[in-house]
Structures are given as structure tokens and as C-alpha cells.
Amino acid sequence: MAENKKEFPPYKVVYGQGTGEYEEKKSRFIASVSPASGEQEALAFIDCIRKKYYDARHNCMAFVIGRNKELTRCSDDGEPGGTAGKPILEVLLGADVTNVAVVVTRYFGGTLLGTGGLVRAYTNAAKRGLEDAGIATMRYGMEITISIDYTDAGRIQYLLGSRQIAISDSRYTDKVEFDIRIPADQEQSLTKALTECTCARAGIRVTGEGYYMETR
């Protein structure tokens, strides 16, 4: 599976929804952030936020969709051109994150901020919202079940621990079974190590593959 490292590169997403606020000259900027697997999901989230903050002066947005960021959109929603949507989008692109939608809501404080002030405010609000949502890495990986005798369980646990591979589930019947998930490019080296560690007694079965969120 070594080729998977090139064919399925890792990419960054947000852990979940988040919010962030920024205030300048009594204008209040509220960033709302959400994962979005596609354009329709992004638009639905944006519509939901606009309804939530229906009384705000502006609800400016940006979203990025696709593993390779194939689709990007942004809107100033009435703010001077390039002072809101684009800065929000640049925050997302600068963080190298995708499959995400952001709406920054502005409640006008009575004082004009000027072009520079608006760019700064929308940028800072978006950054705070993104920080609250958290950024995770999606990696292409393999789900593997290791079947071993009880006498090999301890050394397998030690081997996995030394490689910082977590056991997601374990079963103890006539055999011991450990379920793990690893990046695809580690499959060959781990299989070799498991085989050597148990003198080829370990049963190694790939039960699934695909992108997963790296939590460590």
C-alpha cells in the first residue's frame, strides 16, 4: 500500500463547530464555523446562521470544499468589496483547512472602520472561530485486526505501544484479537514487525480502509 501515501495525501479539517468574537470601535464581529462535506452543506449552514442573526447588518461568509480545495466561495454581504469575504477565505487558505464554512456576523457599532479596520476585524474574528473549532488532520489509513495466541499478547501490546499505535478494541476468546488503525503507508513495515515478533504466528487481516481523523 506504499502508493497510497501519494494517491491519498493527508488534508486538514476542523474538529467540529466553533465560534469566535472580535470587537472594534463597538462593532461586534461573531464568527461561526462548521465542517461542511460539500457545497450544499456549506450553504445550508450559512443560511442557518443568517437566520439566527437576521437582525445583524452583515453576515459575510467563505467556504472551502474538497480534499484539494477544488471549490472556494466568499461574499462581502454588503461590506466594501474585498474587506470581509476575502479576508475570511484567506484565513481558511492560510490555515490549509478544507471542508469548512465560516460566517462572520457584524453588528454595527456606529463608527465606520475603514477598509483596513474591516479587514483586520473580519480576519481576527475568523481566526478566533477557527481556533475554537480546532484543526485536525485526515489521513488515509487501514483498519487491521491482529489475531494472536495469549502468549504473544504482551509482546504485541509492547510493539504497538512503541509505535504509538492505539488498540481501538480487543477480544479475548480462544485467541486474542486487537483492532487497530494505522496510516496506509505504515502497513508493510508493521506487518513485517508483527510477523518477526511472533515468528509468523500472528494473523493479520485488513478489515477496512479510508480516510480517518487523526486524534493524536
List the CATH code of the domain at 137-214.
3.30.70.240
Q: What is the pTM of this model?
A: 0.81
In whole angstroms, give the CA distance from residue 195 to residue 191: 6
**Which of these CATH numbers, 3.30.70.990, 3.30.1230.10, 3.30.160.20, 3.30.230.30, describes 17-133?**
3.30.230.30
Q: What span, in angstroms and rounded, lies between the C-alpha atoms of 82 and 93?
A: 15
192, burial (CB in 10 Å: exposed 0-12, middle 13-18, buried 19+):
exposed
Contact 181, 212 (CB under 8 A): yes
The predicted structure's pLDDT at residue 215: 63
| Cα–Cα distance, 72 to 65 (Å, whole number) | 6
Give the closest residue to 153 by CA, choosing from 137, 173, 175: 175
With DSSP H G I counted as helix, E B as strand and the rest as coil, what are the percentages for the chain, rounded to 5?
Answer: 35, 40, 25
Q: Where are the beta strands (DSSP E) in the chain?
A: 11-14, 18-24, 27-35, 58-65, 71-75, 100-107, 135-148, 167-172, 176-183, 203-214
Residue 76's Cβ-side half-sphere holds a number of Cα atoms within 13 Å equal to 12
Residue 183: partners with Cβ closer than 8 Å, 6 or more residues away: 5, 139, 140, 141, 142
First to last CA, the chain: 22
pLDDT at 112: 76
| Residue from 12, 29, 47, 31 nearest 106 by CA | 29
Could you tell me the residue ranges of all domains in the chain? 17-133, 137-214
Placement of cell 464568527 in the chain: 31
Q: Three cell numbers at 39? A: 457545497
The pLDDT assigned to 37 comes to: 94
pLDDT along the chain (216 residues), means of 10: 62 96 93 97 97 95 96 95 96 97 93 88 97 95 95 95 94 96 92 94 94 79
Q: Would you give the distance in Å from CA 131 to the centre of its chain?
A: 12
User: Rounded distance, CA 11 to CA 139, Å?
Assistant: 7
